[in-house]
Chain A
Amino acid sequence: MEAYYTKEHEWVKIKEGIASVGITDYAAHQLGDVTFVELPQVGKSVKQFEVLCAIESVKAASDIYAPVSGKVTNVNEALNDAPEIVNESAEDSGWMALIELTDPSEVKNLMNREQYDDYLRGLA
């Protein structure tokens, strides 16, 4: 499965035209304890880098941006009652939405893991 990353610290994993989306371990650590995830509506259409949904921690409220354009086909409802999953497993169980891709070529605007790790080193 291919994984890509944004400068705003979202990840996207693409499999057969469906993208799963979440925030990176780095982002979850920066936010601190996550207390609320506002999941997007299923059926919502989003454009790449537009606001997808929102997240709140004890420290701050932030937007989460769509790493790719498409239609939201599913959301991780487990986060409604247990948003702490994002802290425990940001890049796996803490996924937030599935997006049906409209333009697979958009990944050229994203970083691969190696590039993202370099990007993080630049922030340190």
Chain B
Amino acid sequence: MEELKNTPLVDEHIRLKALMAPFGGWNMPIQYEGILAEHRWCREQAALFDICHMGEFLFRGDIVAAGLEEVFTFSVLSIPVGRSRYGFLLNDNGGIIDDLIVFRLAEDEAMVVVNAATIDNDFAVISSRLKGGEFRNVSAATGKLDLQGPLSREVLVEKFGAAIGDIPYFKFIRTTILGVAATVSRTGYTGELGYEIFLPADKVRELWELLLADQRVKPAGLGARDVLRLEVGYSLYGSDIDEATTPLEAGLESFVNFDKEFVGKKALLKQKQEGLTRLKAAFRVGSRRSPRHHYEICFEGETVGTVTSGVFSPMLGCGIGLGYLRPEVAAIGAPLTIRHDKVSMEATVVELPFYNGGSLRS
């Protein structure tokens, strides 16, 4: 097995007595104080996440001539400068190689932000599809911290200036933080008002320490992040979506633009025509029991799917989860039974998001 990679903050996590565990090839903090306390801090105050493991690529050139317009399921050309867009990199079968966000930095410049475990493969795939332009993997040199929570805006405005306070959802600014060029984006993975801050990796520790010195800010690990993202129904790559899953099966068609060409389009159109054999569904458990990855999903005594994500939701006070079902049983309100060994729990198919009370758009 390949050796685990460390972020520039590994010593800080150890100093804070974080529980560390492997995630996507990285040695990451799962929790500090405790998953529920960190979850709550993010929903009520401002939580700081070390997200340096994620990948960043930079493109420079003519978007159309280089073929970048056909690489993803959305149009890069139509993203206004200063805005970002979420979507997919697909294979020929329409399977999801990765879910990612593209930031339009300038007319001829874009930053692609990808998942940690998929950095090398994504870079190879995108490079092979480009016919021109300059394309660089700047993941190692780029640090990323996420500050998420209802107080994140006032914290950043006080420290780095009023301009951050005016960034709308899915927009970003390029500014100077700690004397270096940084990108501050109003995006995140928690359902709360929040920001993703990109800056040189060698400045991450200074920013981490500066933010944590503020009493409104506490560190949060990947454990809390998983609960936060699932409460608002976001998919986790590698669990809920993967190369064997299409955006249609995952219920994420709204991030696919069929009005343009992209790799995988043909397969998706075929799938649309033939109909889906499985569909991602969200379900809510009727008790405090947690569904967990790989638990069986049953409908009227028959196994109809497996759980891809499941947690106890502190906001709802019950178990919640995602899984793939035969489309005919994935209707809202359908009664399910989630099983594993001798554990059994009743659940109901519900609409996403599970939790809608966050400060995301405030």
Chain A interface (Cβ within 8 Å of chain B)?
32-33, 35-36, 38, 54, 56, 58-59, 61, 83-84
Contacts and interface: CB of A to CB of B under 8 A. Distances in A.
Contact of A58 (B287, B289, B312): B312
Contacts of A56: 288-290, 312
Q: Which 6 A-B pairs have the closest CB atoms?
A: A35-B312, A36-B288, A33-B36, A58-B35, A36-B289, A33-B34
B148 interface: no
B343 interface: yes
Contact of B343 (A33, A61, A83): A61
B119 interface: no
Interface residues of B, number: 16
A58 B31 CA distance: 11
Given A58-B223, A58-B311, A58-B312, A35 B34 contact: no
B225 interface: no
Interface string B8-49: 000000000000000000000001001111000000000000
Contacts of A61: 290, 292, 340, 343
A32 B312 contact: no
Interface centre among A35, A54, A61 (most CB of B within 10 A): A35
B227 interface: yes
Contacts of B292: 61
Given A58-B311, A58-B312, A32 B34 contact: yes
Given A58-B36, A61-B292, 12 more contacts: A35-B36, A35-B290, A35-B312, A36-B288, A36-B289, A36-B312, A38-B289, A56-B289, A56-B290, A61-B343, A83-B288, A84-B36
B229 to A, nearest CB: 14
A36 B290 contact: yes
